[in-house]
Each structure stands twice: as structure tokens, then as C-alpha cells.
Amino acid sequence: MFTAGLGTARNSPREYGSHWGGFGDRYGTRLSGVATSNAIQAAMGALWGEDPRYFRATGQPFKGRIKNVVVMTFAARQPDGDLAPAYARHVGNVGGNFLSNAWRADSHSGVGDAFRRAALGIAGKMGSNAFAEFWPSIRKHLFHRK
């Protein structure tokens, strides 16, 4: 909803307009793109045995936890427990963004637009990992009871 609201406020893409209908178009386009990417990732990951979950680095120093956030953005656990490149995640991210060009506004459906969205997807995954890594520790310190 945030990106649809931001796009509506900026009227980008212009084809959708800066009204509730435009917000709905942006939200629907974003939702369908994310669903497509996730479906590709789930299917490929199931075939290849990748575990898409984030595993925290509890007990590690701050630097080790930051490293874990970055590594787990690009890697996934395999059936044997080892880390390997998260091919399904990246195929889903890039493939879903290129596939979604088919139903996006013409001004936002180019190759560069798809790569930009894929890069934002990687950044979003890293942000999600950072939240999963640090929020439990932050919450414990902020909301502890005496």
C-alpha cells in the first residue's frame, strides 16, 4: 500500500492518474507482480530444495549479525543444511519483474524498469532480513518488564 500511495502522490506512472482509481491500479499491479515473483520462487525453490526462510545469527557480535543479513539475502539453506546461492529467489525476483512488464503501464514496462524493480526487490529482502535479525533484540530491550 505504501508504494501505491507514494506512486499516487507522485502520479507515477501518469497513465493511472492521481485519484483512487489510480491508487487501485498501482496497488493491483504491485500485488500481481509480487505474487508472480513469489510463485516462481516457490516453484523453483521446491524443485531445487531451497529453504527460503531467514535464520538469525543469535549470539553473534553485531558485525557477524550484519554479515548474516547480507549473506542470507543472496543465499539459502539447501536440504543438507549448507548455504548456497538462492537461485530460486533471484530467478523469481527477476523473472517476476520482467513478466509483470506485460501488464504495467507502457512508461514503466521497459527492461531498465524491470531491472530497477529487481534491484529494489533485493534491497527489500535485505531490509526484511535486517528487521528479522534485530527487531527481537530491540523489542526485548524496549518493552522489557521489571
Residue 145's pLDDT is what? 66
What does the pLDDT average to over 75-95?
96
What does the pLDDT average to over 16-20?
86
What does the pLDDT average to over 93-117?
92
Greater confidence (2 vs 80) lies with 80
Is 32 part of any domain?
no
pLDDT per residue as tens digits for the range 20-40: 888 998 898 888 889 999 999
Cα–Cα distance for residue pair 25/90, rounded to 1 Å: 26
Residue 146's pLDDT is what? 60
Is 108 part of any domain?
yes
What's the domain range around 102? 38-142
Residue 130's pLDDT is what? 97
Tally of structural domains, the chain? 1
Cα–Cα distance for residue pair 71/65, rounded to 1 Å: 10
